[in-house]
Structures are given as C-alpha cells and as structure tokens.
Amino acid sequence: MGEFEVHRVRFFGLVPAGVRCMAYQHNGRRLALARTDGAVEVYNFAANYYMEKAIPGHQTRSVEALCWAAGERLFGAGLSGDITEYDLERLRPARAVDGFGGPIWSMAANNDGTRLAIGCEDGSVKLFQVVPGGGVQFEKNLDRQKGRVLCLSWHPSGTHLAAGSIDFIRVLDVHSGRTAQRIMVNCHVPKSKKRECVVWSIAFLSSGTVISSDSFGRVQFWDWERGTLQDSHTVSSSAALSLAVSEKEDSIVVGTSAGATYQFQLLPVKAGGQEKRWVRTKPFQHHTHDVRAVVHTPTALISGGLDAQLVIRPLMEKVQKKGYDAALRKFTLPHRRLVSCARKARLLLFQFSQHLELWRLGSTNKTGKDGETLPLSRMPEHLLQLKSKGPEHIYCSCVSPCGSWIAYSTASRFHLYRVQHEGDSISVKKVPGVPKLLLPAYQLQCASDSGRLFIASDRGSVHVVQLLEPGGCKHLHTLRPPAGTREAVYLLASSADGNWLAAVSGDWEVHVYSLKHFKHHCTVPTYSCAVTALAIHPTTNNLFISYSDQQLFEFSIPEKQYTAWSRAVQNSGLHKLWLERDSPITHIAFNPKNTSQVLLHDVYMLCVLDKSLPCPQPLPDDSAVLVNQSTLKQLSEPARRRQLHAFKICKKFQPLLFADLLDERCLVTVERPALDISAQLPPPVQQKKFGT
Amino acid sequence: MHGARAVFSVGARFLLCASGDFVKMYSVATEELVQLLRGHSDLVTGVQLAPHNRLQTFTVGYQLLALYALPSSEDSVFVIIPKSGERDTFQLVSVKLTKAAGQDMEAKELSVVLEGVDASPKCTAFGREGEYVASVKDVNLQVYFFKQKQLNRFSLRATNKKGGNNVFTCVACHPQEDCIATGHADGKIRLWRNFNHKKEYTFSTLHWHHDKVLDLAFSLEGTSLLSGGVESVLVQWHCGSDCKRDFLPRLGSAIEYVSISSDGTFYCTSHTDNRITIINSNLRFSKTIQGLIKARDVKTGLVVDPRTKALVLNGEPGHLQFYCLQSDKQLYSLDIVQQEYIHQAGLNQSDLVRVAFSAQGKWLATVEEREETDLELQLKLWFFDEETQSFKLNTRISMPHEDHITAMCFRDTDEMEDDSLMLVTTGRDCVFKVWVILEDTDPEAQQSLSWSCDFVGSYHSYQATNCCFSEDGSLLAVSFEETVTVWDSSTWDLKCTFCHPPGKIRSICFGRLTCSKYLIGATDHGFLCCWNLLSCALEWSAHLNVVVLQPDPLSEHIAAVSWLFKESSLFVFKPNEARPICIQRKFCKERIQFAAFVPRDVPETIGSEKYLWLRRSQLFFLTDTQELMTVSTKSAQERLTLSSKQLAVEESLPVTPFSLLLGKHRHQQSQGDVDLGKIVHHHHEQDSPAVKELLHTPAHVLPSASFLCPIFINSLLVSKENKSTEETPDEVEMESEEAEDDSDEENSVTEMKQEDKMPLESLGETTHRLSKSEEKELRKIRKVDYSWISVF
C-alpha cells in the first residue's frame, strides 16, 4: 500500500488564452505579454522567468499591442481604440486615452521611450507624447492613407516610421508628417494571382533596411530610400505573422502561422569580407498554432502562440555558461494558483476567467496496492457554477476549509457567498453588506477555522474580515506594513492556530503580522528574488518560503529568524537539478501528522520534502543525480539507503496545477493534460506531413 | 561506372568516369564511348581534371581512396590514404607532385592535413578557392582553414528526440561563399555558415529526402544546391530556401553521385544501377549512358533477342533491358509491368520472372508475378511492331497457371506463319499448357490475332519443371520432377518417358543439327544424362553437378557449367559423344546463374581445335553477383579493346573477374599448349587491319568504292595459300590506300587518322616506345580533332 491515497483530478477544464503580443524591456529584463482575453502578464527574466505580475483581462478590452516606454511604464492599445497605461503596482489599467482613429492595430514606442505611435483602422498614424507624470498626450497626426495600419516600427534615430498595411508599406517622416516612401509589397505577383497581401509585421533597421513579414509567408528586406527589394525569403506557405530584431540588428526571428519560428542572421558572405547577407538559419517548431508574437533578447528567442505557450529558446552561442538560462523553457500554465481546496469538506474551487466551479471530490471505499487505481464509489460531483457579472475577469477566489464560504474578486467588485449543504442539495446565498474595501483584491485566504477571511489589497495592506454565521461579515482590521509600500500584496499565508499571517507584496517583502494583536510582528530578511509560494507550519509556526530561483527557506516566526534546517540547506546548497527545474513552486502544504514532511509542487513534479533526511549534497563535478522515487524503488536496499535524500520527487502527475494534502493519508492533485488543452483549441493550419 | 564521381572535361564536351580498372571517356553530346583510358591495375577510385593544364587528368587507384585537385595549389593534390599501421582509419594528405612528365607518378612528399577522415570521397570537400577543407565522419564535421591553420570541429547529437539520424553522409562546399552543405542519414541537408567561429556557427536545415542523402553538389555560382538519394529524384534547392525547390523525378534508381560541369551547363548523376544520366542545367533530362543494369535479382535468365542479338534480362524493376554486347550499350528498356515502382522497404511489387522469344524475334512472351498473400501471375505476349520498331502488347493472360510458372518456351520453327507458332508454359500446379494464336474473325475487333490455351497436359500430378522443343518442333520435352516426358507436338500424345532416379530434373535440352536425336538432361543429384530418342534408351551419363545447361543454337555444342567445391567449371560437349570438347576447370569462384550463347555477326576463325565451338557464337555467363563474363580466345591486349567486360562489377572485388578469367585462361593455355596463344594472336593480326581500316575511317575521307572493293574482298578471302604470302600483299594494299589518301585534299583529316592509329598501337604493344608526355600530347591533339569533326 502506498503512502498516500491520491485524488487524481482531471476535470478542471482550464484553457489558457493565446498569446497576442509581447514587449521586452531590455534594462529591467522583463517581458510584458498580452493574451487574447486581454490579460497582461509581466515575466521577470532575472527571477528565472517568473510571472511576476498578472493583470486579469476584460471582455471588451482586447490588447493588440504592448510597449514599454519612459523607463518601466507599460502601455497597451487595442481594438477598443484606447491607449491604456497599466499600473503595475496596483495591477490594473490606470488611465486610458482615446486615439480617435477607430480600433488601434499597432503601437510602437521610439527608442528613448518619449513618444508612442499608433496605427489605426482608418489608416492614420498618430503620435502621442508620453507625459512624465502619467498618461499620454496627443501630439500630431501623420499622413493618412486608406487601409488599416497593422504594424509600425520606428527608425532607431526616431526620424522616420515604417507602417505596414494591406498590400503596401509606408515610410513616414515624423517631423513633417509626410509619407516619404510607399512600397507595394506584391507588385511581383502576376495580376491574375493577385491576392490581398497583409503585411503583418515590420522592422526598421538603422541601416535603412525595412524588414516585412506578410501573409504570403515571405520575409522581405527593402531599401526604404529607393523602395527596392533587397532580399526575399519565403519561410512558410502560410502567413509570417510576427517579426523581431535583436538589439545589435544582426539577427531576426520570424513567427509563422504554421507554428514554426525561424531565425535569420546577418552573416558575412566570406570570412573576413565586408559583404553581409541575411541568411535563414535555424527553424524551430515549438508551437502548434499561430505564432502571434516574437521577441529577440540578446540571449534568447521568445515566441508566444495562440496555443497559449510562451517558449523561451536560448541562443546557445550567446549563453556564456551552462545554467538555468541555457535550457529551453515552455510555459503554458500560469504561475498562479487557480484552485483552492476545502480540506475538511473535500471540495475544490476552480477559478476560470469569468466563472468559478465548485466540485466535490469522489471517494472510494476500497484500498489497493501501490500504484493501483481504485474504483470510485462516488463520482466527483460538479456542485456549483458561479458566473461573475460584468465584463471584468476574476482576480482571485477562495473557498473556506469548511466549504461553506466562497469569495472572489474582480477589478471593481468583491463577492462573498454562503454555501449551504443540505444532504445532496446545495444552496448559495450572497452575503449582503460586504464592507467597501479598496479593490481589487489580489489574493483571498480563509483562516483554517473558517472564521476569518484575509483579503490582500494594494499598498501592502491586508484586510481582515470576520465571517459571521449564518451569513454575514464584518471588517475587523486592516494590516499595513510599517514602512509602507506601493506594491500590492499577492500572496498570503495564515497559521493554523490563527495567530499569524504572512503577506508578500510585489517588492518581495514578506511581512508577518500577529492576528492576536493586529500588529506587525516582523519582516523576513529580504531576498533578491520573487516569492512563489509560502505557508506556515501548523505546529511549529515556521514560515516556509520558496523563491523563483528555486531556493527554499524556513523562517521561525516566534524566533524571528531562519531555522537551523534552513541555514544548513543554505550552507550546503541545493542540488543542481533542483535549481534548474522548469517552473516555480506554486503551493506548499504540510503533513499534519508528520511534522517534518513538506509537500511542494510545481507544474512538472510533486515533492515531499522530508526534513529529517539529509539533503542531497551538490558534488563539485555535478555528477550526482537527483534520484526520484520510482528509480529509488528499483534499487537494492543498501543502494537505496545511500541514495536516500530529503527530496522525494514524483513526476507521475503532469502538468500539475495544484496539489494539496487533504489529511495525512490523502492527497489531491489537479492535472491539466496538454492534450486536453490542444483538443479545445481550433484546428491548426493544415500541413502536409510526410508519411501520413 | 562506379566508385567515383563522373567528371566533365573543360567545355563539358566529354564525361570521364571510372569503370573498374579504366577511365571511360564519353561524349556528352552523343553519349558514345570516345576513349578508354588505361593504366591502372586496380579499381580506379577517383578522377579529377588537372586544374591548370586543361587537358590533363589525374586518376588514382590502389590504396588511394579519394583524390582532390585544387586550382590554388598547382603542384600538389590531396588524397585520402589509409593510415599506416591502423585499420579503418584514414587521413587526408597533401601530395607534392613532381614536375617529371610521365603517366605514373611516385609521390614522396606527403603532409597530413586531416586525420580520421572517412574513406568515402563524398565525405571530404574543399571550400571556396581552396581556403578550407571540410570533412565529415559519423556525427562530426571538421573544417580546416589552410591560411589560419585552424581546425574547427563541430559535432551533432547522434539522434534527436524526433528520431532523426544525424550521421553525416556527404559534404559539399559553396564555390563562392563560406557555406558548407552536409547530407545526413535521415534525409536532412544542413547548410553551415559562420563556421570560422568555434561557437557562433550556425546552420539551417533543408528537408525533403525521406532517406539518406547520397550526394550533394553546388551549382557553379552556388545559387542552387543539388541533392540526390534513394528516391531517385534529383532535387534542386534554390538560394538555400526550404520552400523553393525543383525536382527531376523518375531517374530510375538511387542517385549515387552528383556532379556539375565546370561551365554549369550540365549536371550528371551516377546511379546505383550502373548508369549515368546527363541533365541540362534547366533540370531537363538530356542523355543517359547506360551500362548493364544491375537488377536486384535476375530471374529471367540470359536470353538472346534473335532480332538484335542483344542480351535480354531483368533491368530496372519491372523492365526488360536489351543490352547490346558489341557496342556495350543498352539498346532499350521495355516496360513490362507498366506500374510505377515505389521505393519502399517491405513492399511487394510485381516483378518479371520469365522471358521467351520466338525464333525470329517476332513474339515475346513475359511472365510477371507478385506475391502477397496469394500469388498474382500475368502472362503477356508482345508482338514486334515493324513500324514503331518496338514490342506491342498483344495478349494479356492473368493467372495462366495456378502456381509459379517454372519454364516457358516457343516452338522454334523457321516458318513465318503464325499459326504454327506455339508457346508452352510449365507450372508448379503440375500441368503444362500450350498456347496458340487464334485469328479473330470479327472484323470489329481491334486486333486479329490473340493467344489462347490449346492444350493442358499433366503427368501423374508431378510439378512440371522444364520444357523444351526439339529443333524441328515436332517433339516437346517436359520434365516432371524426376521424369522427362516427350510429347508429339501435333497430336499431343505422350511419346515416351525417361527417368534417371534419383534426383529431380534441373534442366533439359534437345541436341541440334546432327545430334537432334539426343535429349540431354541434368539432375540435381549430379548426373548429366543423354537419351537417344530413336532407341528411347540412355546413351550415356556422366557424374557432374550441372547448374546451367545451355545449347548453342548455331551448332551442336552444348555448354554445361558445374558447381563443385565453390568453383565453377565449364564443360562443352557434343551430345553424340560422351567426351567433352573443352573443359575449363575452376574458371570462376562464383556460382554461375545463367549462360547464353550469343551468335557472332561474323564467324571467327579460330585455330585451336579446343575453341572451335566458339566460332559462331560466344558464350556469356552471369554470376550470382551479376557479373557478366565471357569465354574468349583472344589475348590480353585485344581483350581490352573489346568493350563487353565486367560491367556490373562489384566495387569491392580486388581483381576484376575478367582478368581473373583471363589469367586462368592463359595459364591453362600455357600449360597445355604453349604456343597456342601466339597462334591465335597471329591469326587475328592478319585478317583485321584492312577491314578495320575500312570500317573505322569516316565515309567522306574514304577513297572510291571501286578502289576499296578489292582490298575488302581480299581481306575477307580465306586464303588457301600459305599464310605468310597472304600477309605481304595485304600490307602493300594498305600502304597504297594511305598513299591515295595523302594525295587527297583533306590532308589534315588523314593526319588525324594516322595519329589515331598510333596511340592505339603504342598502347597495345609498344608502350615503351613513346614517352608518357608524348602520348599525352597525342591524346590532346586527338581530342581537339574529334571535336572539330563533330562540328561538321
């Protein structure tokens, strides 16, 4: 008989939205990514590509273009016709300015980030000044020609703009506002075969070369002054949708609708010679659907597709040393917890973009051997579906451990429901008189006795709300960090005895509050990486923190210092294989019976960390393997003892969205097989495959 | 035509290709064999034009595995040689050439360029202006820069996640840019660039081939890349783009080598079936130079087409090749199966198994079979159409027998009428069937003649294995396992049976001419039996493990090839006497599969009694490894001029079987009859020059016919007088002929002709007389002159 009885949940029908556009900020090494549902995410490359910030989408607010301007300010523009500046501290759209040109298809910032150009449906290109305090101000209209402007690119000097439309490219003089050059893209196509040629993406190099990718699958290089074609490469039989240039302008990456990305490099024709030519070099096929957005960083090619994947393909020749950056990374699932679990009631709450689903876990009365699948005596039951009203998407949700309270928050509203279980029937009642709080809430957490609800809010504050029977609530207190911060709290953890609450704000500060006295207790020493998950041990009240660089810390709240185990781990260092894992740990749970066991999970593995066992020592030659449980099981007894280490890793459940311990014998895992996601996507571009 | 890339001469007028021990020079325009370059005593492994002297060629042979010549390094060439002391390791060395004129060069100064290269010439290539050399082996690519003296190594993973096989198969370098193309075992082509950087190198991938890329070649300007593989499709890639490519499909068989002429007007592909295809640069098929096609399995045996005297056997899959032995060329290939052949392992496809010609070559019968779960058989009868000069399908009979057809023969009657024509097929379904022509009376019918079954015979439900008609066509012998039955072909009565247990009958044949009363049979228990048909009794029998029994159609001789102790021996005998005329023991180490007598155009005069049987026809053998061999009476030098040699020679053979045969042959001759060879030689010399002269001189430079007539007739006359007296007038005549020519206006042409003769002689006998450089000079002149003629 195995150690745990596992509820293997596969009925969470989450379909992540496709990637629409991306923008990379070189200085801060951050990638902003917009999804087709209007959600905007910010990935921090310095922190192991952790999804640092997420702004949920909005039904009417699609994002067609993103750009960073004026340092670290993020602007988005979409088909609603507005230019939106995002407040990355409060994680919501801050201001919106109407472009007055119909839907906006493209937006580009100049090199110094002082001006934004937008391309509109009506064929106009408008310039906006980035106002230092916040927002943008209309500056001028450039020459307008019929045909929507699908893509824009500034000349690095900022004097000219290249704009791609249907069938032609225009080069605009920014100063005079006139069209300096107009290039027809499909003049080489015979008239009989003429189809509409959509210029999907454009790039303007400092040498005066304009690179365009179009719906014929061509990547073309133009001399803008003469308007002549320099070079043309057909990369795909379907459209070439996206294009990005490296900072040194010696390499470009092109994404096509067949899911392939191609790299072009400017290479010398002869060694040591002056003549250089663009050569198509590496093809990559990581996506199954349209690659709508590509980014070229100095060391990697990043592509995002409609299959919701974000792929970071490092350029091996540019990576200095082997390490975390030298491996291919693929992100499909968000680095956020979308599942909350009512342990006592054995309920799971799934958070979708605009609704919540409450499920009761199935149960069995049989026992079996290790690895055996048990027959269900009661099927899992879909109890409830809560649809959020309005166009806004859900920020966060939570179910109380007893299963009788459900709370969720959108950008402007906070909802609390009382769920009554009467036998098999269930009734939901909205709790009236919810206190008016500063919204949105970024994280919700119920106390283990279901008596209190903690609401993470902006400026580092946490609201404590008392849940009252039979269906009411009362705002008790608002906890604020002593020094104050501008960043919102995005992670919460409360202790089982109800005395402590830990909160992490966007500046990665971990504050611990005493709930007895509603006052700040201590601050965990700052660490230079994002916190991905934290939890307080039910018996020892040790705070367990995992960071995005895969480090683990244990902090004793009563003693206000790191525990001895944590210091020992830091001294010896963690195993290389552990540190080079793909995805961050998104949830931490504890075994209530065995105090030394900690359950950690990321997308690809589940780990039971046994603090009583020695940590695997990282050897100087890095040859030691991090043996996982299934191989350990096959080893002989002495070898097993030798290989035994604290990290008991199980990779059976993949990709894992959530894992938690219901009790000391019972584990629940929520998986979302990649096949199920791709089955929900529209069929990809038909491609003939040899041998089929 | 194997073992090395074919090379175009400057101006793309000639094509040089290695063939066994020789280098053959073909004309690109007419696909004729122009010249045979000799000099090697072993397989020629590489041919290269000398980069500076446009008319020199380098060839390499024994122990030198590949050869490269660069325009930038005038006085040295690069060769791949085995590393001394180690097996299976090879190195690329640069060899300094001595200025000494001469055909053979002894190179002393060697300097190693690259170690651990692949032995195949396809795996090493020189880059732009000879600045670097790229060599691939397994999954490693090495690039050596001569100027910088820098060696870069790149390696790939042996297999990738998608099951690709990254092993390199060939390499080619861009002629003008720093770009290397490599072919891989999984059909991918990689284009490497920036390889002068150890780390920032990059490559792109082209993928169309589904199996190994066998060869690559860049076009002259490097704008396109040609690749070939087992798909027998030549692929042209443009500008290194994956999307733009052109194909030349249906090239017959796998492409082994691809080469490009120096002016870029022609491409040439060498195929595994012993063929060279010349292709125009616009990917239009131009010419093909076809040797004897090496079929996967020769099932039809060697058959002689009575009309063209060509050897007929399996060619391309589903095709019948007509191979002219005199001109060493394929006459044509007849598509029998008429189905597209699909290159895929494990696919059962129709194949040709039996072929028979009627006596005059008017009718051709073919049997094709396809074996899947059940057998599919088709008997096709083809009629020779005089208008189109090709065979036309007349009748198609599906499932003529229930089981495999074992033998098939026409009734050999000299009459021209069709109604006496008869075809007999024997099958494993224990019957033999007789097919005759029916005349269709229906005027609406498209063709008046068609074949149908006339008689079905069987004998005790034994499997019918062989059939044979007597010379006059009155008797049919059919063997049923251990028994030979003789049938009257007019009434279909069983006349008599012969049996010589134990052992099943392997082959049977009737005697001819004076020996037509005998029936010969060979059993698989090692007996050769001769029955007298008049007395119905066994005349004689011999203990001999006969594998092939072949009667000569023009004489009473019968050739039997035995297989004993892994060696083949030839016995030629007349059925009326049990003593063989000629015994050639152990002439070949391989098992002989088939044999055929090919009638000579002109009966040869043969002095030796031992070889008298070869007077009217020549005997050819086909071995297991598909080498074609012949028994010849001529001596070494002349043998070389005869061009029907080993054509589908296995590359690995250390000594060509021809020379093997020859050596044995001569050895035995010298043992038995010391001066025999000399006599033969003498005879040949005597009668040939006049006729040869007459036939080889272009028509427009010949003197008047009335002048030539007496010479010609004189030469053909079999002299009754003393041989020595005949010899002198002949010589005189020749002299006068040449004198006459000289008096003509066309002096230059005559000169050429004279010179034409000289190297032939000098090569033939008196090599020592002319120095090598002089010979080369002559050859040079000759080349020029030929081309000049072709302008006319």
In this prediction, residue B791 carries a pLDDT of 45
Please report which confidence band the pLDDT of residue B739 belongs to, taking 50, 70 and 90 as the band edges. Answer: very low
Question: Strands B124-126, B90-96: parallel, antiparallel or unpaired by DSSP?
Answer: unpaired
- The structure tokens 């007389």 sit at B769
What digits encode the pLDDT tens for the residues A454-469? 999 888 889 999 988 8
Please report which confidence band the pLDDT of residue B114 belongs to, taking 50, 70 and 90 as the band edges. Answer: confident
A271 and B196 within 8 Å at the Cβ level: the answer is yes
Chain A residues within 8 A of B188 when measuring between CB atoms: none
Res. B183: pLDDT tops 60: yes
Looking at every residue in chain B, the average pLDDT score rounds to: 73
pLDDT mean over B502-530: 84
pLDDT mean over B718-730: 43
Question: What's the CA gap between B646 and B653, in Å, rounded?
Answer: 11
In this prediction, residue B731 carries a pLDDT of 39
In this prediction, residue B703 carries a pLDDT of 57
Please report which confidence band the pLDDT of residue B108 belongs to, taking 50, 70 and 90 as the band edges. Answer: low
In this prediction, residue B529 carries a pLDDT of 85
Q: Which of A41-55, A638-652, B224-238, B527-541 has the lowest mean pLDDT?
A: A638-652
Q: Which of A576-580, B33-37, B510-514, B698-702 has the lowest mean pLDDT?
A: B698-702
**Between A581 and B426, the higher pLDDT residue:** B426
Measured between CA atoms, the residue of chain B closest to residue A276 is B177
Q: Which of A147-161, A370-384, B543-557, B601-615 has the lowest mean pLDDT?
A: B601-615
In this prediction, residue A604 carries a pLDDT of 87
Chain A residues within 8 A of B243 when measuring between CB atoms: 217, 234-237
Give which of A267, A318, A322, A690 to mutate to test B binding, by max B Cβ within 10 Å: A267
Smallest Cβ–Cβ distance between B202 and the set A236, A270, A282 belongs to A282
SS3 content of chain B, % helix, strand, coil (to 5): 15, 40, 40
In this prediction, residue A626 carries a pLDDT of 60
- The structure tokens 């007459």 sit at B694
User: How far apart are the CA of A581 and the nearest CA of chain B, in angstroms?
Assistant: 20
Res. B542: pLDDT tops 70: yes
Structure letter (DSSP) for residue A357: E
Q: Give backbone dihedrals phi and psi of B678, rounded to 5 degrees, phi first.
A: -65, -40
Please report which confidence band the pLDDT of residue B105 belongs to, taking 50, 70 and 90 as the band edges. Answer: low
Res. B643: pLDDT tops 50: no
pLDDT mean over B588-608: 77
Copy the structure tokens of residue A424: 């098999």
Please report which confidence band the pLDDT of residue B38 belongs to, taking 50, 70 and 90 as the band edges. Answer: confident
In this prediction, residue B692 carries a pLDDT of 53
State which amino acid sits at residue B135: S
Res. B727: pLDDT tops 60: no
Three-state DSSP class for residue A417: strand
In this prediction, residue B736 carries a pLDDT of 37
Three-state DSSP class for residue A278: strand
Three-state DSSP class for residue B267: strand
Res. B436: pLDDT tops 60: yes
pLDDT mean over B720-729: 41
B202 and A235 within 8 Å at the Cβ level: the answer is no
**Of the candidates B601, B571, B602, B565, the residue with the CA atom closest to the CA atom of residue B585:** B571
Give which of B202, B210, B241 to mutate to test A binding, by max A Cβ within 10 Å: B202
**Of the candidates B370, B351, B378, B368, the residue with the CA atom closest to the CA atom of residue B451:** B378
- Share above pLDDT 70 across residues of chain B, in percent, rounded to a whole number: 70
Cα angle: A492, vertex A495, A496; to 5 degrees: 130
User: How far apart are the CA of A365 and the nearest CA of chain B, in angstroms?
Assistant: 43
Copy the structure tokens of residue A155: 């000349």
In this prediction, residue A176 carries a pLDDT of 92
Question: What's the CA gap between B366 and B359, in Å, rounded?
Answer: 15
Please name the residues between 231 and 270 in chain A that touch chain B, using a CB distance below 8 Å: 233-237, 263, 265, 267-270
In this prediction, residue A303 carries a pLDDT of 94
Q: What DSSP letter does each residue of B57-92 carry, written as one string?
A: EEEE-TT--EEEE-SS-TTEEEEEEEPTT-TT-EEE
In this prediction, residue A157 carries a pLDDT of 92
End-to-end C-alpha distance for chain A, whole angstroms: 45
User: How far apart are the CA of A219 and the nearest CA of chain B, in angstroms?
Assistant: 12
pLDDT mean over B624-650: 49
Question: Strands A425-430, B22-27: parallel, antiparallel or unpaired by DSSP?
Answer: unpaired
What residues pair up with A293 in beta bridges, in sequence order? A304
Query: CB neighbours of A209 closer than 8 A, spacing ≥ 6?
Result: A221, A222, A223, A224, A230
Question: Strands B90-96, B76-82: parallel, antiparallel or unpaired by DSSP?
Answer: antiparallel
The answer to whether A320 contacts chain B (CB < 8 Å) is no
User: How far apart are the CA of A62 and the nearest CA of chain B, in angstroms?
Assistant: 35
A280 and B201 within 8 Å at the Cβ level: the answer is no
**Between B779 and B669, the higher pLDDT residue:** B779
pLDDT mean over B166-180: 89
Question: What's the CA gap between A195 and A133, in Å, rounded?
Answer: 46
B204 and A283 within 8 Å at the Cβ level: the answer is yes
What digits encode the pLDDT tens for the residues B44-53? 777 777 766 6
What digits encode the pLDDT tens for the residues B124-159? 888 888 888 899 988 888 899 888 888 888 888 877
Question: What's the CA gap between B259 and B228, in Å, rounded?
Answer: 11
Q: What is the rounded radius of gyration, in angstroms, for the C-alpha atoms of chain B?
A: 30
Smallest Cβ–Cβ distance between A233 and the set B128, B177, B241 belongs to B241
In this prediction, residue B146 carries a pLDDT of 86
Contacts 24+ apart (CB under 8 A), A480-487: A480/A520, A481/A505, A481/A509, A481/A511, A481/A520, A481/A523, A482/A520, A484/A459, A484/A460, A485/A459, A485/A460, A485/A509, A486/A89, A486/A459, A487/A89, A487/A458, A487/A459, A487/A460
Chain A residues within 8 A of B345 when measuring between CB atoms: none
Res. B312: pLDDT tops 80: yes
Please report which confidence band the pLDDT of residue B671 belongs to, taking 50, 70 and 90 as the band edges. Answer: very low
Res. B559: pLDDT tops 90: no
Res. B415: pLDDT tops 70: no
Three-state DSSP class for residue B777: helix
Cα angle: B598, vertex B604, B610; to 5 degrees: 90
In this prediction, residue B686 carries a pLDDT of 39
In this prediction, residue B541 carries a pLDDT of 83
A265 and B202 within 8 Å at the Cβ level: the answer is yes
In this prediction, residue B599 carries a pLDDT of 82
Chain A residues within 8 A of B203 when measuring between CB atoms: 281-282
Residues of chain A with pLDDT under 70: 1-2, 187-193, 322-324, 438, 616-636, 638-644, 691-692
Cβ–Cβ < 8 Å for B227, B183: yes
Question: What's the CA gap between B84 and B67, in Å, rounded?
Answer: 18
Name the helix (H) or strand (E) containing A387.
Answer: strand A381-387
Cα angle: A569, vertex A571, A577; to 5 degrees: 60
Please report which confidence band the pLDDT of residue B392 belongs to, taking 50, 70 and 90 as the band edges. Answer: confident
Question: What's the CA gap between A317 and B154, in Å, rounded?
Answer: 13
Beta strand residue intervals within B440-557, DSSP E: 449-458, 464-469, 475-480, 483-488, 494-499, 505-510, 518-523, 527-532, 537-543, 546-551
A279 and B240 within 8 Å at the Cβ level: the answer is yes
Three-state DSSP class for residue B773: helix
Res. B621: pLDDT tops 50: yes
User: How far apart are the CA of A231 and the nearest CA of chain B, in angstroms?
Assistant: 11
Q: What DSSP letter does each residue of A129-165 carry, written as one string?
A: EEPTTSSEEEEEE----SS---EEEE-TTSSEEEEE-
Please report which confidence band the pLDDT of residue B738 belongs to, taking 50, 70 and 90 as the band edges. Answer: very low
In this prediction, residue B772 carries a pLDDT of 63
In this prediction, residue A6 carries a pLDDT of 87
